Structure 1
């Protein structure tokens, strides 16, 4: 059980250590495990600007070029008691992960939110599964949408995610009690998925057989964040979309990471009604929390 977070910038209660893969050069039966103590902190503007901006760049991938990430990071840091950073070596270091929420209506006049909202509307129109999202974000809608942004370094374990979401619920409840603008009707999570694609290098070396052609592109969607697959089960709408900026086949080849296929990242959006969000977060905890010792 995660304790309710105090709403001033102090460190949270220690979480159980997460086990992270160490030297994986040996066999599957001989893998060293390293215990790492992760700590959860409130955002600290004078420390977390560059780390938050870097993680935002990773979250939006090639389309990060379309946004003023400095302005977005400043906006996130302007609400330090809502959202979390996860660190290893103390509060004055860069975060391994972050999670926050922004009120799209409250900040609608800010340039970076205008750009983000227009981007979301355009991308929702590219996937029928997301078609209703533009109506939620229209000026005449009665909906109040909270935009959840979450990202972590590739070597950060997924087990750090459940506490961040649980704390977010507590923080939103506390903010609403304090008459702050965090009473949402819907939550929108922007994230990333990917598809496996045949490497262009393989296609150059291999005969162009029928099998080669049929395997050029896969339809199965994979998740960078395992919790997104859980959130999707509770969603009003969810789907992936192509990035605006084209990174090209060469980049996909560079992301092969010792596997036969390259990967093609895509953006992802998940819309959850407020009444179902707490249940979705509970399901994340059940799915990802480390086993009891």
Structure 2
């Protein structure tokens, strides 16, 4: 039975996030949570998936992935601010990689994730779990949101996902996961190429590169504390030299995005979600 997620929360956001103005004024935005809906969410979901995979998004059939997500409308959430017929500002979903193992887009995702895991010892259990002969039920969690959408929308999405999985299991749906695999994004700061090329005497000393991992999604720092393994990885595709400076976001250093993988055993997932709720709270 389809349902509208009635949880509606108000959160102040910078006005420039909405209309491109540089004003520091804030506006109140009411967020509503909906089931994914094929008739209205396809294009908005594709845009968020491209953002999630960043420069590597061309390696996958994003349309097929969006269709697969929308084929299970009673699992996962979209977040909107101006009614059901508008594009989502955020989404969260889960796909059973075992059930969908014969689909080309899942095979491509599997190969991609295995290639990244092979470079990261903390993710050494992943190849065995995703092997074609494995009976493991790995749930791939995909989630993304527009920049500066507040993180307070995250706890309700994860909490509702836990509830929906239980409802699905009660109806013998294939969501009895042994592991959860969360695909996300991190970044590091890199020295600005623009600063290096600017030799004006009055120019401040250029920012040095910082190898510290920083998080687009602050909940990832909490989730990985409950993980069997996690790691960031470089994207397979290479951006142009100016890409890091294009993502400076009014700071001295450039930004180098990376992919991020978090592997959580099923028994640890609910405590991880509760920790996220405690850390972030809910929108008010």
TM-score by length of 2: 0.92
Residue by residue over 1:134-183, the C-alpha shift from the partner in whole angstroms, topping out at 9 and shown as x without a partner, is: 12111233321000000001131111010000000000011011000000
**Helix, strand or coil: the match of 2:91?**
strand
State how far apart, in whole Å, the 1-side matches of 2:260 and 2:7 are: 31
Which of 154, 163, 177 is 2:147 aligned to?
154
Residues 133-282 of structure 1 correspond to what in structure 2 (within 5 A)?
133-205=126-198, 216-282=208-274
Residue by residue over 1:59-115, the C-alpha shift from the partner in whole angstroms, topping out at 9 and shown as x without a partner, is: 000000000000000000000000000001111110000000000000000000000
State how far apart, in whole Å, the 2-side matches of 1:290 and 1:144 are: 30
Residues 119-134 of structure 1 correspond to what in structure 2 (within 5 A)?
119-134=112-127
Check the 8 A contact 2:110/2:130 in 1, yes or no. Answer: yes
Gaps of 5+ in 2: none
Q: Which runs of 4+ in 1 moved over 4 A?
A: 23-26
Gaps of 5+ in 1: 1-7
Residues 103-118 of structure 1 correspond to what in structure 2 (within 5 A)?
103-118=96-111
TM-score by length of 1: 0.89
State how far apart, in whole Å, the 2-side matches of 1:81 and 1:227 are: 24
RMSD across aligned C-alpha pairs, in angstroms? 1.9
State how far apart, in whole Å, the 2-side matches of 1:93 and 1:74 are: 18
**Helix, strand or coil: the match of 1:249?**
coil
Q: 1:291 to 1:109 in 2, by over 3 A?
A: closer
Check the 8 A contact 1:197/1:262 in 2, yes or no. Answer: yes
| Aligned residue number for residue 41 of structure 2 | 48
